């Protein structure tokens, strides 16, 4: 890249199912102010704003226009980038590019969603082509129910596997004050009592709709080096898309995940990802997705993820912490969700995750975003510049 960039500020709201006490602009402003405070910079020092969310979800239009005043973008350069579920990831990538280009020295990326204000199901249904599958689509839930069935078969996983993931995420979220769902779950058996949405997918397997915002401040190497707080360096980022044919051959394809992680690791000399990467915040819209996708990213062999889960290896005090924040299954304000992954990895790398800080000292972190018709955006962050 043309010049190195670093994340120097992180802010997010306390994600909830509803925030009737704020309007969307105020919600975003909370995250923006938190990021500015964290970075110890004033709004004046932000050179540009990169914002995004799910365009249709709140039933509003041109959200960047009426939010400009709330977030400090008035009188400043800015752009609006919206790529569905991967939006937060794309926001981070674009912010990195803005700074790496040399045109801007400090950029704020903001993702937000206030889903109770709109009709999320209606919004999600419109992903489907209006003339093809829109009449039929059961949205994300149908997709992931099908994925769960496939993983169980392919990996020989018991139905409990999903609940094991859920237990880990609940334990992690309990330590993360920003997480939305912080349920007091104690056992796999307890989670297995959760009602089905579409079998075998249970209510607890699936991510919620949350209201929240996340913002990061990205700075050039020169600026970052002068800042009081330890910057988190950006190593690389990638975006891989897939044709909108969900079933290839006979099954869901994970080609985008494989390619994104594969290329990212190869470009950065990572050959044993589970050993060389210290922490992963992966985008898992449901518990089963975490299992299938940990394999697809190449962290472990096909069919192995649930066995490692069963052994507890993905807990934050164990060998390979996955989603120490509680993940998407505990917190999902869609426009912000993928950016939260980046933010949480950054928090871990600078030792700032408080109670949900992983046990081992991390040097390299991986974050991912998923959405669209099977798209993956992924980032590699590092605690050191090299």
Partner 1 sequence: MRVGIVAVAQNRFGDYPEWRPHELTYLVVEDVLKKAGLPFRDGYDDIVTCSSDHWDGKTLSDIEHGEVAGAHLGPGETKVSLDGANAVLLGYIKVLSGHADVVLVTAACKENQVMDPSVIENFGFDVPYHQLLGLDFTQAAALQATSYMHKFGLKREDFAEVAVKGLKNAKDNPYFFNGGDMTVEEVLGSQMLSYPITSVERRPFCDGACALILAKEERARELTDRPVWIRGVGSCYDHHNLGDRDLTEPAALFRAAQDACGMAGLKAPDKEIDVFEISEHYSYQLLLWMEGLGLCARGEAAKLLRAGELDRGGRMPVNPSGGLLGGVPRYVAGANRVIEAFYQLRGEAEGRAMPREPRVALAHGTYGPAGQHHCVIILERGF
Partner 2 sequence: MMMENKEELLQQERMLHVRFGWSAGPYLGRFLAELRDNGRLWVVRCPGCKRILMPPRIVCATCYTRAPEFPEGWFSLSGKGTLLDWERVIYPQMDPETGEIRPEPYLHGLFILDEGVSFGHYLGPEDLDEKRLREGMKVEMVMKAPEDREGKLTDIKYFRIMEA
Which residues lie near partner 1 (CB under 8 A)? 1-2, 23, 48-49, 52, 54-57, 59-62, 64-69, 73-84, 90, 93-94, 96-98, 100-103, 123-124, 126-130, 237-244, 255-256, 259, 371-373, 375, 377
The reply on whether position 239 binds partner 2 by CB under 8 A is: no
The reply on whether position 209 binds partner 2 by CB under 8 A is: no
Per CB under 8 A, the segment of 92-100, 128-136, 218-226, 357-365 that binds partner 2 is 128-136
Q: Which residues lie closer than 8 Å to 136 by C-beta, 6 or more apart?
A: 128
Closest to partner 1 by CB, 33 vs 241, is 241
**Interface residue with partner 2, options 14, 44, 59, 355 (CB under 8 A):** 59
User: In which residue are the tokens 């409990």 written?
Assistant: 160
Residue 262 binds which of partner 1, partner 2, none (CB < 5-8 A, kind-dependent): none
**Which tokens sit at 296?**
């697809």
Element (H, E) at 254: none
Residue 254 CA, chain-centre distance (Å), reads 17
Residue 197 binds which of partner 2, partner 1, none (CB < 5-8 A, kind-dependent): partner 2
Closest to partner 1 by CB, 139 vs 303, is 139
Closest to partner 1 by CB, 244 vs 359, is 244
The reply on whether position 294 binds partner 2 by CB under 8 A is: no
Q: Which residues pair with 286 in a beta bridge?
A: 206
- Distance from C-alpha of 253 to C-alpha of 275, rounded to nearest angstrom: 26
- Distance from C-alpha of 137 to C-alpha of 326, rounded to nearest angstrom: 28
User: Least distance from C-beta 233 to partner 2, angstroms?
Assistant: 35
Binding mask 322-351 for partner 2 (x = CB under 8 A): ------------------------------
Closest to partner 2 by CB, 287 vs 323, is 287
User: Least distance from C-beta 355 to partner 1, angstroms?
Assistant: 35
- Distance from C-alpha of 4 to C-alpha of 297, rounded to nearest angstrom: 25
Contact 83, 376 (CB under 8 A): no
Contact 298, 265 (CB under 8 A): yes
Per CB under 8 A, the segment of 126-134, 270-278, 315-323, 353-361 that binds partner 2 is 126-134
Q: Which residues lie closer than 8 Å to 172 by C-beta, 6 or more apart?
A: 179, 315, 316, 323, 324, 325, 326, 327, 330, 356
CA distances to 3, 154, 172, 329 from 303, rounded to whole Å, are 40, 7, 24, 21
Closest to partner 1 by CB, 81 vs 192, is 81
Residue 21 binds which of partner 1, partner 2, none (CB < 5-8 A, kind-dependent): partner 2
In the Cβ-directed half-sphere of 121, how many Cα atoms lie within 13 Å? 6
- Distance from C-alpha of 216 to C-alpha of 58, rounded to nearest angstrom: 23
Backbone angles phi, psi at 282, to 5 degrees: -100, 150
Closest to partner 2 by CB, 147 vs 382, is 147
Residues near partner 2, by CB under 8 A: 20-21, 59, 121-122, 125-126, 128-136, 138-139, 141-142, 145-146, 149-150, 196-199, 243, 245-247, 250
């Amino acid at each position: 890249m043309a010049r190195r960039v670093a994340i120097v500020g992180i802010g997010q709201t306390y994600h909830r199912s509803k925030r009737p006490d704020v309007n969307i602009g105020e919600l975003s402003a909370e995250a923006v102010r938190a990021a500015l405070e964290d970075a110890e910079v004033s709004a004046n020092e932000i050179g540009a704003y990169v914002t995004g969310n799910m365009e249709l979800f709140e039933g509003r239009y041109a959200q960047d226009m009426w939010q400009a005043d709330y977030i400090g973008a008035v009188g400043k350069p800015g752009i609006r980038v919206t790529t569905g579920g991967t939006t937060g990831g794309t926001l981070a990538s674009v912010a990195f590019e803005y700074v790496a280009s040399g045109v801007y020295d400090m950029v704020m990326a903001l993702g937000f969603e206030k889903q109770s204000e709109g009709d999320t199901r209606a919004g999600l249904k419109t992903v489907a082509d209006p003339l093809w599958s829109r009449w039929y689509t059961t949205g994300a839930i149908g997709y992931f129910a099908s994925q769960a069935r496939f993983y169980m078969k392919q990996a020989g996983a018991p139905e409990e596997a999903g609940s094991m993931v859920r237990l880990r995420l609940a334990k992690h979220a309990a330590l993360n004050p920003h997480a939305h769902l912080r349920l007091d779950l104690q056992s796999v058996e307890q989670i297995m009592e959760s009602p089905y949405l579409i079998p075998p997918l249970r209510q607890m397997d699936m991510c919620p709709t949350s209201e929240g915002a996340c913002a990061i401040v990205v700075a050039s190497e020169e600026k970052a080096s002068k800042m009081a707080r330890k910057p988190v360096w950006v190593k690389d980022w990638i975006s891989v898309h897939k044709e909108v044919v969900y079933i290839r051959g006979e099954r869901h394809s994970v080609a985008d995940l494989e390619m994104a992680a594969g290329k990212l690791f190869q470009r950065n000399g990572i050959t044993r990802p589970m050993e060389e990467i210290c922490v992963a915040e992966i985008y898992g819209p449901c518990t089963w997705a975490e299992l299938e996708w940990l394999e697809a990213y190449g962290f472990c062999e096909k069919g192995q993820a649930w066995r490692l889960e069963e052994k507890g290896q993905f807990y934050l005090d164990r060998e390979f912490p996955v989603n120490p924040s509680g993940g998407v299954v505990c917190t999902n304000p869609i426009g912000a969700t993928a950016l939260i992954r980046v933010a949480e990895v950054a928090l871990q790398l600078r030792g700032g995750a408080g109670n949900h800080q992983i046990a081992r000292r991390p040097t390299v972190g991986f974050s991912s975003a998923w959405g669209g018709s099977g798209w993956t955006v992924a980032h590699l962050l590092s605690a050191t510049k090299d």
